Structure 1
Amino acid sequence: MKKSIKYAGIAAATLLAVAPVAAPVVSSSTQNTVQAATTDTDANTSAMNDFAGQYKDYTIASGTDLSKTALVFGKAQSLTAFQTAFSSFVKYPLQNAAGAAATLAGTGDKAAAATVDVSAVTSNGTKVNSADELNGYLKDDTTKAVTITATFNYKTTDGATATPITKTFTLTKAAVEQATALKSAAISYDKNINVEYGTSAADYKLVDSSNLSVKDNEGNELVGNGDDEINPSISQQFYTSYNDAYNAANGSTTTVKGVDVSTFDQPNTTYYQVITGSFTPDSAFATLLTNHATTPANYGLTVNGATPTGSYTDPTSFQTASQKDGDTVTGKIFTVIRSITVGSKEAADWTTEDVDGVVTTKSDSAYYTLKNDDNDTITNRALAKNTAWKTNAVRTNSNGDKQYRVATGEWIDANDVTFSDGSSSSEGAYTDEQALNGKVTLDGPSSFIYMLYNDNGEAVSNRALAGDSAWYTDKKATNADGVTVYHVATGEWVQAGSGVNYVAY
């Protein structure tokens, strides 16, 4: 999901926070005057350099309340007090920073007697006087960062006042990522699935088998897109009725019995399964659901293209609920229900292969019957004799029966047709085109189907002419096989032959 961030921060500060230092940098700036250590450096000087070196540019978490810290600006303070106040901003701490602070701040003739003068200025150079001011400044999304200058005063091991070590580092507060307000969401999933008899149920217990998607009004996918977005899960139980699945999804007190299916071995049976999407109570999607419930005219929500109603007859089966730990809402979920329908044993007996070609019905009968996926005869459709049909699959069963698919869920027996892979089909430009003024009448019954062909002689896959109909024609032509074709619509022709009759006006 896209986020719109009103506060950009300082790019340079961020880079400094993560970029490793490859080599010492010589600069004319006097802001950082951490002394370079040598082999004969005083022990206190070396220790103070290490201590000051802990503090780097740092990005504070967006929810941090700096007003509750012990940060002090504008006056000298003990090294221990400074360490306590600023320890949360140490990116690379010393192994024993507190011990080092105590040693450097110790008392005695040769003690370091270390103190720190701390000041802070905004990116505009305005002085910051307190932790409250710092907190208020960094809370403003339009601000950038605050530069802290710490001057470490200490003594060498022989009690002499050492040259102060000055360290500067930048505190930047991470911007609060502000989600683009959701105006609508479209939930989609595979609501109805058909499986073959004997299919393993393992694949249908996997989250990805649901194809669950939730897209916002900008087309961004919300499922699995970050911890604060929607995380899908799927029930390992199946239910034999829609109402049982519905009650299970709603946490009904009614005893709901699910079945643990390992193989879909009950033919012609429909199972129901619950799919869940979980999200945090303060997520943008949760806000959308609240807004949609109160002002549905301004906020859209669809499930597989339909607006949910939340009833047993709901076409989307969409439900919502809260997850609680006692009285505390820890999360929210929505649930949808899908059906899985197991096919017949007969349908599962077929082995299907892809083909690309044309089948032409024979002429022994006036028409040829079709079979459905279960090999049952289709009573309201048939193919007329001497008609060609595009086919994309052929199937064979254990008895050796062979059928070609000529439409979705419709097959014709291989003994009723001749198959061509297209190498000798009638495709090609028409010849001997002649003008006509008449009509083509097609013999019945109306369940007969007469194929159409385009201007290249190719079968049209999504349109055909019904029997007992008549069509105006303005010309005829001859295809590559020498068969007469009549022009009955723009770019569409019907072949002359049995049942196709031309009458001149």
Structure 2
Amino acid sequence: MKKFSKVKYFGAVAAALLAVAPIAAPVVSSIASPAVVQAATTTDAQKVLNRYFKDSTTTSQKNLFEFVSGESAITAPESLAGRRSGPNHFLGTLLTNGDLPSEFKNYYVQVVFSGYEGYPASQVAYDLYARGAGTYTATVYLFNANPSGTYDTPALASKTVTLTVPAATATVSGVSSVSDATVANGSSVTPFQTVASIVGSTKFALSDGSTRDAVPSDFATGLPIFVGFTQSSNPYYDIKQLDGGITGSTFKTPGTYYALFSLSDDVAASLTTAGVTPTVSLRKVTATVTVPGDKTKTETKTNWYVARKVVVGDYAESAATGTANVVNGQGTTVYSDPTTTTSTGKTLDYGSAWKVYGVVKNSAGTVLAYNLGGKQYVKASDVSSTAVSNQAGVFTVKYPSNPTWSIAVYNSDLKVQKLIPAGSTWTTFGVKTLKDGKSYYNVGGDQWVRTDYGYWNAK
């Protein structure tokens, strides 16, 4: 039998074959999946969550407690259908960027603080409050709301929000100190009327037990900060207490004055809230005033004032030359003010000599102090213009006419300071001639005894 590699059909045969098996293009049939309706997708939920919830936020310890303690969505998922805005807004604006859009009506939400999974809101709130300042993390979960009025699990999306509670800022609870000032009669009043003078002199006590220096914003704005001078020490300041006698540019009468400065509304409110009791340096007045913008209404307002003490002394300083010899057996203290009330912490040794640049006298002409240069003052009673011979030894009291009598101890002005008994012994530090022309032993400080009212032995 012979094989053929190709078979060809012609004419009617070919037509018959085509009629039986026509050549057609392939037909592709597709089976469509049934449509699935979803209330929300994971992608949609995550986009909404990322857009409308914060990445981080800062709040106070009090605000965090108030928000968390009453929030049911801390304990279990909570529907957002009616909680997208207004007073019932989910956690206020603690976690969100504002009112939530309509997309959120189809969601439930739950907030879980790290470390408090499964805890009720009240316990979370109290624990966070007790921990105080710090950084906390909360994870916000979005669940799909289903037609049965509940929610589907698992959550569609989640986002972690960082919450920072800074350390509480301490408020002003009083005045810790206000430094006094001492000036000579006739000095200018201007330096005591400036804001800088009261700011640099005042230190406030704070609610946490610490203190801080005053700053300009602690004092009133829009009002006369410097109120005036008063000689009254009444802590309940009254405008009638102002001293109308200080009308010029200088102090004209020696005495004690107080420069009054108004505190700001914020500081005043802190003091009032703290229930501070007024003092000489922190004064208070409660007055009825007209409400700003409405002259028909009045309100009660509490104002507070810092009072700085200014002592106007009966003294005047003038230039002088000479030498101050230390005659006080214990040495002499160096002071920073002409009234010799504020020590510099320095002392000058007994017997040392120092150049004099100024002398301080009162209105009667009595010498009170010497300026040794650079506002370094020593008491006049501790020094002398004449040198003291170094006479270290022991003096025994024995009055020549009657050995049983006591003798007087004098100061350098020959005023009796006290009596010392016969037979008593005293360490001597030097010897000098006082203004009566007699010789005296120094027995410590500005204390002198006649050299001829006893006997002396060298140490």
Rg: which structure is higher?
2
Question: TM (normalized to structure 1)?
Answer: 0.44
TM-score normalised to structure 2 length: 0.47
